[in-house]
Amino acid sequence: MFERAEARIDLARIAANINHLKNISGVPVMAVVKADAYGHGLVPVARAALEAGASSLGVALLEEAITLREAGITEPILAWLVPPGSDFNSAADHTIDVAVASIGAFHEITQLPNKPRIHIELDTGMSRGGFLDEWPEFLKSDFSTVSVVGVFSHFARADEPGEKQNDEQIARFNSMVAELSAVGVNPEIKHLSNSAATLKNPSAYFDVVRTGIAMYGLSPDVSTLGNSNELSLKPVMQLRAKLHLVKTVPAGAAVGYGATAVTTRQTKLGVVAMGYADGIPRIARDTGVFVDGKRAPIIGRVSMDQFVVDLGPDSQSVSGDWVIVFGDGSHGEYTADDWGAASLSINYEIVTRIGSRVNRICAPHVY
């Protein structure tokens, strides 16, 4: 086994978060497992979510949905980023629900036999996906050759609970659903809530809530909603790596490319066997790893395959020791939130960018 870096994925925490979100909303949960389950492992996380009681799965890409079907998963799956020209035949063959956001895609789907399953995507104010300018023309379509399973939209500012745009989007959603009903289209499933709305906006629950980042135990926005602990969520991923090398260096030693950092004392440096090719942000500052029961900050630039941390002059670490890059913070380690802030980004990007070179260990109570 190659032991260099690993992401330990606690599937029991997936189950705990799913049950927490179900209890909050009181409606079925669509577990969002796009982008390799936010970097956590597509198939094992999908299975764990369904076993925990999720009613369906949501992905961005058709190929993600097909992978789930080929893994033996039979529950409903919605793929929502399937543009015109996609392999709609494969979607139908695998009984995958497809989001429709344009007349072009709709016309291609209507050419298929056996009434393919679709969810109509509405633009209610985000100006991203969904029908907007084509909406009046779309309402004149012949819907007899498709099965309209659902209708949905997406919040732009659900992580700002007091923002009036949230209410405006709900009102627009209801209006567009009513316009569908007026032409005889009455989808069985209406869904609007993402993780933030599931946690904070009961008026947006409708028939299903789509839970992405919260399912993985992370806050949709630490500054406006609070951290994982405050939201009763359990972070699922612990990322750890080995110290490739530990060495003592003198004061005044330049560290890393560009000599952007210089030691101010004699100290021990640890070379962590991960880099930006593994998803460690090159821009990261004011973060590091947890080892010897304390935090060891990054010193110098992150390289492609490794980065250096200042272990301190009294460190007992040796080459080959494991260090925690991030975890749930319960022992004082850095969190995905910390890494997001240190990289001028968000926790979503930190977990989803963990590369394929990092082994995933997916099991209940794995850390």
- Cα–Cα dist 142/108, whole Å: 13
| Residue among 291, 281, 284 at smallest CA distance from 323 | 291
For residue 128, give Cα distances in angstroms to 119, 157, 207: 16, 13, 23
* Mean pLDDT computed over 51-66: 98
For the cut 60, the answer to whether the pLDDT of residue 93 exceeds it is yes
Which structure tokens are listed for 116? 């393919």
The predicted model scores a pTM of: 0.95
pLDDT tens for residues 8-50?
A: 999 999 999 999 999 999 999 999 999 999 999 999 999 999 9
How far the first Cα of the chain sits from its last, in Å, is 19
114 dihedral zone (left: phi>0; alpha: psi -120 to 50; beta): left
Chain segment 265-278, per-residue pLDDT in tens: 999 999 999 999 99
Question: What does the H/E/C string look like for 273-329?
Answer: CCCHHHCCCCCCCCCEEEECCEEEEECCCCCCCCEEEECCCCCCCCCCCEEEEEECC
Structural domains in the chain plus CATH codes = 11-216 (3.20.20.10), 237-363 (2.40.37.10)
297 has a pLDDT exceeding 90: yes
Of 332, 328, 358, 353, nearest to 343 by C-alpha is: 353
Joined together, the tokens standing for residue 361 give: 């260990």
Q: Which pLDDT value is given to residue 258?
A: 96
pLDDT in tens, 104-152: 999 999 999 999 999 999 999 999 999 999 999 999 999 999 999 999 9
Q: On the CB side of 348, how many CA atoms lie within 13 Å of its CA?
A: 14
The string of pLDDT tens digits covering residues 305-325 is 999 999 999 999 999 999 999
Do residues 109 and 85 touch, judged by C-beta distance below 8 A? no
What is the rounded CA–CA span in Å between residue 23 and residue 59? 23
Tokens for 104, please give them: 């072009």
172-179 LR contacts (CB < 8 Å, sep 24+)? 172/122, 172/124, 172/125, 173/122, 173/124, 176/122, 176/124, 176/131, 176/135, 176/151, 177/122, 177/151, 179/135, 179/139
Distance CA 3, CA 307 (A): 17
The amino acid sitting at 143 is F
Question: Is pLDDT above 80 for 285?
Answer: yes
Structure tokens at 164: 């009036």
- Residue 288 confidence (pLDDT) above 70: yes
Q: What is the pLDDT of residue 3?
A: 85
- Short-list 111, 17, 116, 14, CA closest to 62: 116
Active site residues per annotation: 34, 257
**Could you tell me what percent of the chain has a pLDDT over 90?**
98
* Residues paired with residue 58 on neighbouring β-strands, in sequence order: 32, 78
pLDDT at 2 (0 to 100): 67
- How many whole angstroms separate alpha carbon 367 and alpha carbon 326? 12
| Residue 262 backbone dihedrals phi, psi, to 5 degrees | -135, 130
* Residue 1: pLDDT band with limits 50, 70, 90: low
User: CA-CA distance, 363 to 45, in Å (whole number)?
Assistant: 9
For residue range 207-251, list pLDDT tens digits in order.
Answer: 999 999 999 999 999 999 999 999 999 999 999 999 999 999 999
Residue 201's pLDDT band, with cuts at 50, 70 and 90, is very high
CA distance 65 to 206: 24
What single-letter DSSP state applies at residue 335? B
Residue type, 253: A
